[in-house]
Amino acid sequence: MINCLIVDDEQHAIDILVHYVKQTSFLNLVHTTTDPLEALKILSTQKVDLIFLDIQMPEISGIDFIKTIQGKSRVILTTAYSEFAADSFDLEVIDYLLKPIPFPRFLKAAQRALTVLAASSAPLPASDDSQYEDYIFVKTELKGKMLKVNLPDIDYIEGMKNYVAIHHNGVKTMALLNMKDLEDRLPRKYFMRIHKSFIVAVPKICGIEGNQIQLKNIKADILLGETYKPAFLEMMKEKMMQ
């Protein structure tokens, strides 16, 4: 069951979403509010897996709200304005619903949330070599095409709005995923997010120069982001000879 919160400054928009949630068996409505500041208080006291969040609200916008909660809950954005779509993918929301929202479109977004949350709560693979010899299937940019990618072949992954570019075996595969979903599925011993736009295969790292990460046999500008720098340096510290 997914515990969800609805945040919208218009009560009639909330009423529609409440009706939809009640028709969706795997959603459990925790609370609704027209005040995003109240929503922040709710998040501090209750477990919320998923937020249906309006973008344009007084006091704090939906975009700023997402930045404030720092990934504590996953988000589906709801808005009457399509121009915010690019920003939403940068923030790795699960989906972006344009008002008025038909129920089939709502249900599709909810089912995607179910898939994403189930994946992120799945136990991590054991950190032995046999588990590392694994693979994933990804939906490519070509409609109806899926591709098998062997995890040991991956050098790095590059975020590109609503796609990711998986660099493996000298080729680049464009996959219909976002960085957060993929990060949650990869074994953490072998893959590390080092930047908003980059995940690297740790065994492929061969050098560091300033904020540039160098990978074996790879000529690419791979940056170390300030947000991810402390965790990366801590990992490197464990492996460094004194």
Grade residue 132 by pLDDT with cuts at 50, 70 and 90: very low
The pLDDT of residue 141: 74
Q: Are 199 and 213 a contacting pair, CB within 8 Å?
A: no
What's the per-residue H, E or C state across 128-151?
A: CHHHHCCEEEEEECCCCCEEEEEH
Task: Write out pLDDT tens, residues 15-69.
Answer: 999 999 999 999 999 999 999 999 999 998 999 999 999 998 888 888 889 888 8
* CATH topology assigned to domain 2-121: Rossmann fold (3.40.50)
Tokens for 118, please give them.
């189930």
Q: Which CATH superfamily is domain 129-239 in?
A: LytTr DNA-binding domain (2.40.50.1020)
- Spatial distance between the Cα atoms of 186 and 197, rounded to a whole number of angstroms: 16
- Spatial distance between the Cα atoms of 91 and 179, rounded to a whole number of angstroms: 10
Amino acid identity of residue 11, one-letter, is: Q
Task: Write out pLDDT tens, residues 79-128.
Answer: 887 665 555 555 678 888 999 999 999 999 999 888 878 765 544 444 44
Residue 178: closest CA among 107, 120, 231, 218: 120
Q: Are 162 and 176 a contacting pair, CB within 8 Å?
A: yes
The pLDDT of residue 230: 81
Q: Are 151 and 136 a contacting pair, CB within 8 Å?
A: yes
Q: Are 2 and 113 a contacting pair, CB within 8 Å?
A: yes
Number of DSSP helices (H) and strands (E) in the chain, helices first: 8, 15
Please enumerate in sequence order all residues whose Cβ is within 8 A of that of 96, keeping only pairs 6 or more positions apart, or say none: 76, 77, 79, 84, 85, 88, 89
- Spatial distance between the Cα atoms of 220 and 198, rounded to a whole number of angstroms: 11
Q: Is the pLDDT of residue 135 over 60?
A: yes
Across residues 6-17, what is the average pLDDT? 97
More confident residue, 240 or 211: 211
Residue 229: closest CA among 204, 192, 186: 192
Tokens for 236, please give them.
């490197």
Domain ranges of the chain: 2-121, 129-239
Amino acid identity of residue 98, one-letter, is: L
φ, ψ at 173 (rounded to 5°):
-110, 125
Tokens for 17, please give them.
């979403």
Task: Write out pLDDT tens, residues 160-205.
Answer: 877 899 999 889 999 888 888 888 888 888 899 999 999 999 888 9
Q: Is the pLDDT of residue 237 over 90?
A: no
**If you compute the radius of gyration of the chain from its CA atoms, what whole number of angstroms results?**
20
Residue 184: closest CA among 101, 94, 79: 94
